[in-house]
Structure 1
């Protein structure tokens, strides 16, 4: 009879499955249960509603968490986990702890602020108030559970499970997780890629890791595309073209940007472009309290990152202005001429960037530069897809600004780099699981990996899928239906996106009607359609 140490562990995919947010993986053995990441869902309203629902596990039954890095789609539900009963250690790198010390309270502040605004509207509409997912006291309680790990050093995470971290090259403090699970014969070896950084990233070294695993879990955000091989100088030159175009239009350059890493990379290149005279000198506003605090952490860790000295110079540039208060933020849009605003969030769905978009999307002399991946259903993706009118903060805005995509700062490896990373981890004896990707990225990477792994050994799990892992292979486990969200609803436009589009179309049709009679006719047709739907 097999002993307890030989019982096969179960791997469950609680997020980032056929989507790029909500990263959360559970490993369960006969003696322990741990999570790798516990991230926030972003994108469509249907996906964001998962953040409010119950976890698909009992938080108090989780023994420990390993956090790969500080980005909110990997860390943003840790506060909720603690609020609902988790009290074990959260293991991660020192730099990630420093970043989480500002990012998690900021996420809680945004939760409280946005729910307060929503509840004011709910009172006016006669609706019931709602509660935030978590509050700032939950973030404080969460931070008390963090435990620092060093790269490349083995640590016992729970009974029968040990882990070590490898630099993933994605973000300050980011890590891939190597996991060993004790068995009577030989340990089962698993590696979670987390988000893998591209080669030659501005502030981070290239990703690292060992070889030879039973199972590999790999991200696939850009699994279907190869970016041009730009050097830092070539990338800076391309950025200069967009900046000069914005200056020639004599209007603002608005950059939705992730507050952590992306903002700091942009500041380095803007500083170098202005110092060299390649672009006109202009004020650069970092309008994000989180980005301000994160920049201070980057400066503190400058000796650990590439281009650290240049980053220090950029952060102390005479052109750079950090804004704190809402009043300072609003005052920016009273300026005339050319200036740069960098504000979160990077996908335009939260934070101060929405205020800047509302104030500038209708201006022909404004330029909006998307500096990274835009998830399906986000305002950023809708703008990139060519929307002429959008709804933001409950208001309609016509889009006349020039919308640009500049994706050369991506923190994610492209298809060729992902294939090279997987190949460097081989041999993989059993299965490669592809996660953290939309349909195109998943399918594209699966095709590219078939030269390394048999096609049937590359699995693309769905949300809440579970697999029993052994040294001889993995078996899918039946999942209770219905699932938290049907697979076809993930990384798709949903009813809320459709409703926003419909309201804009109705507004346009009514506005285009020739006279009062025409407008009344449109309203009557809408009423009949609603009555027919109730019948």
Structure 2
């Protein structure tokens, strides 16, 4: 008797974001991830979005991790009728409350602004498609599962999470599908971590699979050695110290901010950090850092050994000169500090958040330094600054760019091409690979490498359905 199952690629197919795959097993419907497509107008994304299925027909959601491009449509799914269970790790469940509340809050704030604009034109106002209550419902639906703990989701479907090493709680999803004597092993990589980075363990190996959905974000390139990246970072901080100004680091609240705190802690204990004050200027990053501290048992052992070796209980105590700026008043006061401070603030691409206010007050001062520690997408303020624009418009004012701009490119939390290939080659059996989460150029390069090793590999197409 053949297996009565199919898989449909609904998102993050031939693109990086919008992770969503529909698994049908007999009379059950299961979503793997439910993420937003990023880079679009958020109000348009929410108000005009239509699922390719009826949300009330979905029985389960299995979540790889908490990043919005993997989880961001969950509140809308609930608002449209989903009432099933959401399986995820403990770390993901804790982070979801922070990220989804922030996402929905920003949506409601933007909707309020747009409705004021529509009202002035005498046009019909837009109703919110969901609210904070839907985030609470999402959290109520969550069923945390530990790594390497096998759980029966429904008749004929067994779930096991392995550590993906990407961010706290990130998971490789292993599914065993059984029907009579027929059985298939389906693996979804989620986002695989970069083994060179700190805090998270290396991605776990998979013993055997029949079908693998594999991310391909950096399928066409490798990252430079981490030691080179750290030296670049330390040199940029040294230059800033000699210039006598402040350092501003745009960083995303989840993952990158915590890694930067760790690296600054290392430099502090090595006697190489000359600045007298580090400020984490982001309420969300502060809350996430506390969650990281609660789950230090999930850190890479070599990194926790370093923390404990300096008597640190958590990331905050590892960096004694760290201050937390929760309130807007504390954030605004930083612009009166003339020198010797490092300010870490969001957003990571300077397309919103507190960092933009700091840039308004500090970009025009030649003694200041701006250090980018993450990828800057086209169309963002961060990308324009990296590309060398000498004047930018902020809050209606033209601001001269006289601060020194540094780009440190080796801090990626994604596996590079060699790591992706190595992970794939370790999987036993004769799996079919379907590449997801990547731009076409990256996917074609990775597909070519995998084919060279004799692995069966295709690039997933949006809307494509395959039989299992």
TM above 0.5? yes
Match of 1:416 in 2: 418
Q: CA deviation at 1:268?
A: 1.4
Q: 8 Å contact 1:288–1:352 — kept in the other structure? A: yes
Deviations for 1:50-69, whole angstroms, at most 9, x for unmatched residues? 34411222111111111111
Alignment of 1:343-492 (within 5 A): 343-390=345-392, 397-429=399-431, 431-453=432-454, 457-462=456-461, 464-470=462-468
2:332 matches 1:330: yes
In our comparison, the structure showing a higher alpha carbon Rg is: 1
Q: 8 Å contact 1:24–1:39 — kept in the other structure? A: yes
Distance in 2 of aligned mates of 1:163 and 1:319: 44
Q: Check 1:352–1:39 CA distance in 2 against 1; reply closer, same or farther (3 A cut).
A: farther
Q: 8 Å contact 2:275–2:342 — kept in the other structure? A: no
Alignment of 1:70-469 (within 5 A): 70-124=66-120, 128-132=124-128, 134-231=130-227, 234-306=228-300, 307-308=303-304, 309=307, 312=313, 314-316=315-317, 317-390=319-392, 397-429=399-431, 431-453=432-454, 457-462=456-461, 464-469=462-467
Distance in 1 of aligned mates of 2:72 and 2:246: 31
Please give the TM-score of this superposition, normalised by the length of structure 2: 0.90
Distance in 1 of aligned mates of 2:217 and 2:458: 15
Distance in 2 of aligned mates of 1:355 and 1:125: 30
Q: Check 1:105–1:187 CA distance in 2 against 1; reply closer, same or farther (3 A cut).
A: same
Describe the SS at the equivalent of 1:217: strand
Q: CA deviation at 1:170?
A: 0.7
Q: CA deviation at 1:446?
A: 1.6
Q: CA deviation at 1:418?
A: 0.6
Q: Check 1:368–1:21 CA distance in 2 against 1; reply closer, same or farther (3 A cut).
A: farther
Paired residues in the alignment total: 459
Q: 8 Å contact 2:43–2:107 — kept in the other structure? A: no
Q: 8 Å contact 1:111–1:134 — kept in the other structure? A: no
Q: 8 Å contact 1:344–1:351 — kept in the other structure? A: yes
Q: CA deviation at 1:267?
A: 0.7
Q: CA deviation at 1:133?
A: 5.4
Alignment of 1:29-48 (within 5 A): 29-45=25-41
1:6 to 3, 20, 41: 3
Distance in 2 of aligned mates of 1:359 and 1:130: 35
Describe the SS at the equivalent of 2:179: coil
Distance in 2 of aligned mates of 1:377 and 1:461: 27
The CA RMSD over aligned residues, in Å, is 2.5
Q: CA deviation at 1:282?
A: 2.5
Unaligned runs of 5+ in 2: none
Q: Check 1:213–1:63 CA distance in 2 against 1; reply closer, same or farther (3 A cut).
A: same
Unaligned runs of 5+ in 1: 471-535
Q: 8 Å contact 1:263–1:291 — kept in the other structure? A: yes
Q: Check 1:453–1:344 CA distance in 2 against 1; reply closer, same or farther (3 A cut).
A: farther
Q: 8 Å contact 2:3–2:183 — kept in the other structure? A: no
Q: Check 1:281–1:368 CA distance in 2 against 1; reply closer, same or farther (3 A cut).
A: closer
Q: 8 Å contact 1:218–1:433 — kept in the other structure? A: yes
Distance in 2 of aligned mates of 1:74 and 1:243: 34
2:45 to 36, 46, 50: 50
Deviations for 1:273-305, whole angstroms, at most 9, x for unmatched residues? 133321313321211111111111111112331
Deviations for 1:455-490, whole angstroms, at most 9, x for unmatched residues? xx422234x3222223xxxxxxxxxxxxxxxxxxxx
